Amino acid sequence: MTTAPVVEVSGLTKTYGGVRAVDELSFTLDAGQIIGFLGPNGAGKSTTLRLLLGLASPTSGSALVLGRSYAELAEPARRVGAVLEHADFHPNRSGRAHLRVLALASAIDGARVEEVLELVELTAAADRKVGSYSLGMAQRLGLAAALLGDPTLLVLDEPINGLDPAGVHWLRAFLRRFADQGGAALVSSHVLAEVEQSVDRALVINGGRLLGDFSITEISRAGQSLEQAYLALTGAVAS
Amino acid sequence: MIRQLRSEIAKVTTTTTLIGMLAALAGLVALAIVVHTYALPVDRVATRTGQRELLTEVGVGLGGLFAALIGALSITTEFRTGTIRPTLLAAPRRSKVIVAKALTAFFTGAVAVLVSTGTASLTAAVSLRVRDLTSMSTTGDYVDLLAGGAVGGGLLGVLGLAVGAIIRAQVPTFVVLFTWLLFIENVLVELPHAHRFAPGALAQGLAAQDREGIIQTVWLSAVLLAVYACAAVVVSVAATNRRDVV
């Protein structure tokens, strides 16, 4: 029996004023997998994530989560957790209040707010205004928000920006545990060395187009690093 | 809808923005009333009509402006800080978010005008006494002012939210609201037949303001302002549904 993919992107295209930010992009993400979503600045990664999460509408094609568009998901916060920008907070609201606001919108129990604060080790700073948080603390608060609904899919845009080495180590272990328990994660990042240690597959895009889709194991077998494979792909486009 | 409404109320109560705005409003209203009760000639402020006009002009006028600004802040702040993204991820049906915000803006707008008219009434009572004048307003006048003003403020709050949802950017939204409520409506006073249909004038009509250029029927003012607010919400939902969130 085959299981439907957690994410199914098919012929996805997004045009802004005649410029194709995403161009006929297709890929799938299955349960238990972590995909690294790689590409230079302006490659179309963030746009793709926004299309997947229903924040932007595709010009053509589709981006489905668990077989439906994001807007059609029942209880989306319990299916998908996302961190798109580390600064998506009101600076005068406390970390705890930020999570509480999101929990109320998804009918998530207040006890879960305390659980995720504990999980990302922010309990002691939870009543401080988010404006006083360091970049790493803000990143961990974003992760806490993504985990509130105990989702099946995590969509993380540059999740290790601002994290200290312990935080990066924690995130890597957390993602592996999450995937081993049947979760799926789509992780956009520029830090190739870290991605190589964290993900099962890498998708490389540039100019909105998919340049490569390979498993990390395949690259290792070929005696290459992810960085070499990435540069070979994106360099070919640049030339 | 209930959960989104609870979330929106939590947003309003978990920052100091609303309290700060209400404190600023109360201070401005008190100052305006003191200045007017001292600066205006006795025959303007000694009569019931004059006092009622002053309380409505200042209380509902300034309160209505702040109601609209607070309504606009509730959505433009989300775009400015980026919290609109987690908001829409939790509730991807955008119409639900806008309607919940509109209900919250109605509530905060009503509170703004209650604070404003309450402050105006109390300050006027003290200020008139200091000037050896008697407060002529009746209980009925205060009921009209507070209850009618609160409904008017609530509806102006919804209009402010809708303008904010359509424009999105905070400063341009504020410029539009200030320009309309403080400038254009004041210019329209010279054209009473047009002025009476302006949102700010309708809010004053709801508080039973009795002067030229104001519809004298409270229910008609309420219906017209409610129609404006509903139409604005419909347009803002359509605009929010059509546009991407970056």
Helix (H, G, I), strand (E, B) or coil at A9: strand
> In 10 A of CB B97, how many CB atoms?
25
Cα-flanking dihedrals φ and ψ of residue B130, to 5°?
-60, -35
Say if residues A35 and A94 touch (Cβ distance below 8 Å).
no
Judge whether B246 lies within some domain: no
Minimal CA separation from B241 to chain A, in Å = 10
Beta bridge partners, A83, equal A156
> In 10 A of CB A170, how many CB atoms?
17
Q: With 50 as the cut, is the pLDDT of residue B112 above it?
A: yes
- Find, among B236, B210, B237, B229, the residue nearest to B109 by Cα: B229
Minimal CA separation from B14 to chain A, in Å = 6
- Find, among A15, A26, A3, the residue nearest to A203 by Cα: A26
* CB contact (8 A) between residue A93 and residue B15: yes
Contacts of A50 in chain B (CB under 8 A): 244-246
% of chain B with per-residue pLDDT over 70: 100
Q: With 60 as the cut, is the pLDDT of residue B27 above it?
A: yes
* CB contact (8 A) between residue A85 and residue B82: yes
Closest by Cβ to A88, choosing from B82, B93, B246: B82
Closest by Cβ to A101, choosing from B11, B82, B92: B11
Interface A–B counts its CB contacts (< 8 A) at: 81
Whole-structure pTM value: 0.90
- Beta strands A184-188; A201-206: pairing state: unpaired
A113 touches B: beta carbon within 8 Å: no
Q: Describe the crossing of helices B218-242 and B199-206 by its angle, rounded to 10 degrees.
A: 140
Which segments of A59-131 are extended strands (E)?
60-65, 80-83
Residue type, B118: G
* CB contact (8 A) between residue B92 and residue A70: yes
Question: Among A50, A89, A101, which would you mutate to test the B interface (most chain B Cβ atoms within 10 Å of its Cβ)?
Answer: A101
Q: What six digits make up the tokens of B161?
A: 């939210």
Q: Which residue of A has its CA nearest to B94?
A: A71
Report the domain count for chain B.
1
- Give the residue carrying structure tokens 């999101």: A102
* CB contact (8 A) between residue B244 and residue A106: no
Q: What six digits make up the tokens of B83?
A: 């919290």
Say if residues A165 and A102 touch (Cβ distance below 8 Å).
no
Say if residues A35 and A202 touch (Cβ distance below 8 Å).
yes
What is the distance between the alpha carbons of residues A234 and A219, in angstroms, rounded to a whole number?
A: 16
Cα-flanking dihedrals φ and ψ of residue B219, to 5°?
-65, -35
Mean of the per-residue pLDDT values of chain A: 89
Say if residues B27 and B58 touch (Cβ distance below 8 Å).
no
Minimal CA separation from A89 to chain B, in Å = 5
Closest by Cβ to B81, choosing from A71, A91, A100: A91
Judge whether B62 lies within some domain: yes
The whole domain housing B194 covers: 2-241
Question: Which pLDDT score, from 0 to 100, does residue B133 have?
Answer: 86
- Beta strands A34-38; A60-65: pairing state: unpaired
Say if residues A53 and A214 touch (Cβ distance below 8 Å).
no
* CB contact (8 A) between residue B244 and residue A107: no
Mean of the per-residue pLDDT values of chain B: 92
Q: The complex's ipTM?
A: 0.88
Residue type, A28: T
What tens digit of pLDDT does each residue of A138-193 get? Answer: 888 999 999 999 999 999 998 888 788 888 888 888 899 999 999 999 999 888 88
* CB contact (8 A) between residue B3 and residue A88: no
Judge whether B57 lies within some domain: yes
Flag the least confident range among A129-138, A203-212, B39-48. B39-48
Question: Which pLDDT score, from 0 to 100, does residue A224 have?
Answer: 82
Judge whether B32 lies within some domain: yes
Q: What six digits make up the tokens of B79?
A: 């775009």
Cα-flanking dihedrals φ and ψ of residue A5, to 5°?
-65, 155
What count of residues does chain A have?
239
Q: Which residue of B has its CA nearest to A148?
A: B90
Closest by Cβ to B244, choosing from A55, A88, A89: A55
- Does residue A124 or residue B195 have the better pLDDT? A124
In chain B, which among 82-121 make CB contacts under 8 A with chain A? 82-83, 85-93
% of chain B with per-residue pLDDT over 90: 70
What is the distance between the alpha carbons of residues A217 and B219, in angstroms, rounded to a whole number?
A: 73
Contacts of B14 in chain A (CB under 8 A): 93-94, 97, 100-101
Question: Which pLDDT score, from 0 to 100, does residue A239 have?
Answer: 43
* CB contact (8 A) between residue B90 and residue A77: yes
Closest by Cβ to B10, choosing from A77, A101, A107: A101
Would you give the end-to-end CA distance of chain B in angstroms?
Answer: 25
Cα-flanking dihedrals φ and ψ of residue A20, to 5°?
-85, 105
Q: With 70 as the cut, is the pLDDT of residue B164 above it?
A: yes
- Find, among B3, B14, B90, B4, the residue nearest to A145 by Cα: B90
Q: Which residue of B has its CA nearest to A107?
A: B3
* CB contact (8 A) between residue A94 and residue B246: no
Contacts of A151 in chain B (CB under 8 A): none
Q: With 60 as the cut, is the pLDDT of residue B122 above it?
A: yes
What is the distance between the alpha carbons of residues B184 and B199, in angstroms, rounded to a whole number?
A: 11
Judge whether B59 lies within some domain: yes
What tens digit of pLDDT does each residue of A12-45 get? Answer: 999 998 899 999 999 999 999 999 999 888 889 9
Contacts of A102 in chain B (CB under 8 A): 7, 86, 90
- Give the residue carrying structure tokens 């640049």: A238
Question: Which pLDDT score, from 0 to 100, does residue A217 have?
Answer: 85
Question: Which pLDDT score, from 0 to 100, does residue A2 have?
Answer: 57
What is the distance between the alpha carbons of residues A167 and A140, in angstroms, rounded to a whole number?
A: 8
Question: Which pLDDT score, from 0 to 100, does residue B193 have?
Answer: 86
Contacts of A57 in chain B (CB under 8 A): 244
Average pLDDT, integer, range A56-70: 94
Cα atoms in the 13 Å half-sphere on the side-chain side of B183: 7
Q: How far is CA A84 from the centre of its chain?
A: 7
* CB contact (8 A) between residue A57 and residue B244: yes
What tens digit of pLDDT does each residue of A192-239 get? Answer: 888 888 889 999 998 899 988 888 888 888 888 888 888 888 875 544
Judge whether B179 lies within some domain: yes
- Find, among A7, A9, A71, the residue nearest to A208 by Cα: A9
Question: Which pLDDT score, from 0 to 100, does residue A86 have?
Answer: 65
Question: Which pLDDT score, from 0 to 100, does residue B211 have?
Answer: 75
What tens digit of pLDDT does each residue of B173-196 get? Answer: 999 999 999 899 888 888 888 888
State the alpha helices, DSSP H only, in B60-138. 61-81, 84-90, 94-130
* CB contact (8 A) between residue B91 and residue A105: yes
> In 10 A of CB A132, how many CB atoms?
11
